[in-house]
Structure 1
Amino acid sequence: MQTRTLTTPRGWTLRVLAPLLAAMLGLLLFPWANTAQAHGSVISPASRSYGCWERWGNDHLNPAMQQQDPMCWQAFQRNPNTMWNWMSLFRENLRGQFQQNISNGNLCSAGDAQGGLASSLDEVGAWRTTSIRNTFTIDLYDQASHGADYIQVYVTRQGYDPTREPLGWDDLELVTQTGRYPNQQHYVVNNVNAPGRTGHHVVYTIWQASHLDQTYFICSDVNFTS
């Protein structure tokens, strides 16, 4: 975290200190708050939590975020640990029964996993996008090298509007399912093909880790430019 001298009025200083104190309290309240380094997530195209952390992690108290990146702003206000633990959004012991255990409207939070750690990621709005073509690559970073039994990549159907509609299973089309990956830190899925899409969509990645029945659910906002 960067150290900055505040020369603002006292009222603004208090508004800055409040989220900082909330973040510190969150680290005490949530047992997984220091476990982000033990897991992984999609870094390209950036997941919602990783993108917010990448853009604002060193400047998360900047009030300009509210205007420049309002969806990240609401996420930081609700729970800064969503971003500090961007690698930790998983569920255990689902036995592949994903749709039965994660309800529509709660896909990006993995069904309010980890005590609601990432509930803010389900919010509907103009999330920042990564521009990609209809054939693209997924880069999933696994700091702990758990391995992967498989990775599934879904993309929202043409006509779905992420800025107005919560994400449901019926909005998604499975476009790729991989085989196994050995224990390593990057699982790259090449030549993911989602034809017929233009504009803002959601790429939904499901990573089934190999070390135990642990599954990660990841929303990435993209803009198809082809």
Structure 2
Amino acid sequence: MYLDTPTRRWTRRVITPVLAGVLGLLALFMSPWADSASAHGSIVDPPSRSYGCWERWGNDHLNPDMQQEDPMCWQAFQANPNTMWNWMSLFRENLAGNFQGAIPNGKLCSAGDAQGGLASSLDKPGPWTTQDVSTNFSLHLHDQASHGADYFLVYVTKQGFDPTTEALGWDDLELVQRTGSYAPAQDITFSASAPGRSGHHIIYTIWQASHLDQTYFICSDVNFT
């Protein structure tokens, strides 16, 4: 949970009052544990890029070790801390299923610069932290607002794509699963399979929420073993 730890209390004493106010507002309004009326969701296992950064560094975001241990999260945090805090809001509205028309190549992981362009750092190629998975894998959506799903589309990068040097484009992906609908729930788990993969890949999940035409676009970095 997003807790008021001794580290955070120390941080408030040493940073400027302006920054303290900004972080306080972020904690209140953009915390993943905020009122469900203002919360959304994401794939948390294997973690989306933004959720993974929050999970690993949310309570330790001023630790200089992040730059060396998790450089892609570090660059995202430097670009804008909101990319980490607001991990549940990579969505677009009223696309009517025209995903490729709305999300250009190279902008898939940020949902086409969702959040007013604050999340564009998620599109950068590099050594994103991966989670080991088998080619038969499951995905776990956490959605505090319990929107439900009309469907999920699960894509996986083709063998030979290199997430450390290439920005993700639609032609780099293969659709491996289209699910049916899911009733509103805070946690939904579903399965997919991506045979023939090994090494670092991106699982790209499109979640079409049920409550209105609201679509989430989610990159999860994995290592197929």
Whether TM exceeds 0.5 here: the answer is yes
Deviation at 1:17, TM superposition (A): 3.3
2:213 alignment partner in structure 1: 213
Taking only aligned residues, the RMSD between alpha carbons, in angstroms, comes to: 2.4
1:25 alignment partner in structure 2: 22
2:69 alignment partner in structure 1: 68
Whether the aligned pair in 1 keeps the contact of 2:109 and 2:219 (CA below 8 Å) is yes
Deviation at 1:116, TM superposition (A): 1.0
* Structure 2 counterpart of 1:187, one-letter code: I
Deviations 1:51-93 (A, max 9, x none): 0000000000000100010000001111111111111110000
Identity level (%): 66
Deviation at 1:34, TM superposition (A): 2.9
Deviation at 1:23, TM superposition (A): 7.4
1:199 alignment partner in structure 2: 199
When the two structures are superposed, what TM-score results if normalisation uses the length of structure 1?
A: 0.88
1:115 alignment partner in structure 2: 116
2:185 alignment partner in structure 1: 184
1:92 alignment partner in structure 2: 93
* Structure 2 counterpart of 1:189, one-letter code: F
The equivalences for 1:134-213 within 5 A come to 134-190=135-191, 192-213=192-213
The equivalences for 1:49-60 within 5 A come to 49-60=50-61
Structure 2 distance, partners of 1:63, 1:49, is: 19
Deviations 1:71-128 (A, max 9, x none): 0000111111111111111000000000001000000000001201211100110000
Q: Secondary structure at the match of 2:15?
A: helix
Does residue 1:2 correspond to 2:5, yes or no?
Answer: yes
Whether the aligned pair in 2 keeps the contact of 1:27 and 1:81 (CA below 8 Å) is no
* Structure 2 counterpart of 1:25, one-letter code: V
* Structure 1 residues 169 and 200, CA gap change in structure 2 (3 angstroms): same
Structure 2 distance, partners of 1:90, 1:176, is: 20
Deviation at 1:3, TM superposition (A): 2.5
* Structure 1 residues 209 and 80, CA gap change in structure 2 (3 angstroms): same
Structure 1 distance, partners of 2:109, 2:15, is: 29
Structure 1 segments of 4+ aligned residues over 4 angstroms from their partners: 20-24
Whether the aligned pair in 2 keeps the contact of 1:90 and 1:113 (CA below 8 Å) is yes
* Structure 1 residues 66 and 93, CA gap change in structure 2 (3 angstroms): same
Whether the aligned pair in 1 keeps the contact of 2:135 and 2:224 (CA below 8 Å) is yes
Whether the aligned pair in 1 keeps the contact of 2:72 and 2:126 (CA below 8 Å) is yes
Q: Secondary structure at the match of 2:197?
A: coil
Deviations 1:12-40 (A, max 9, x none): x9xx837x955743776x9x953754100
Structure 1 gap ranges (5+): 8-12
Whether the aligned pair in 1 keeps the contact of 2:31 and 2:85 (CA below 8 Å) is no
Structure 1 distance, partners of 2:8, 2:208, is: 45
Whether the aligned pair in 2 keeps the contact of 1:26 and 1:33 (CA below 8 Å) is no
Q: Secondary structure at the match of 1:151?
A: strand
Deviation at 1:144, TM superposition (A): 0.5
Structure 2 gap ranges (5+): none
Whether the aligned pair in 2 keeps the contact of 1:27 and 1:34 (CA below 8 Å) is no
* Structure 2 counterpart of 1:68, one-letter code: E
When the two structures are superposed, what TM-score results if normalisation uses the length of structure 2?
A: 0.88
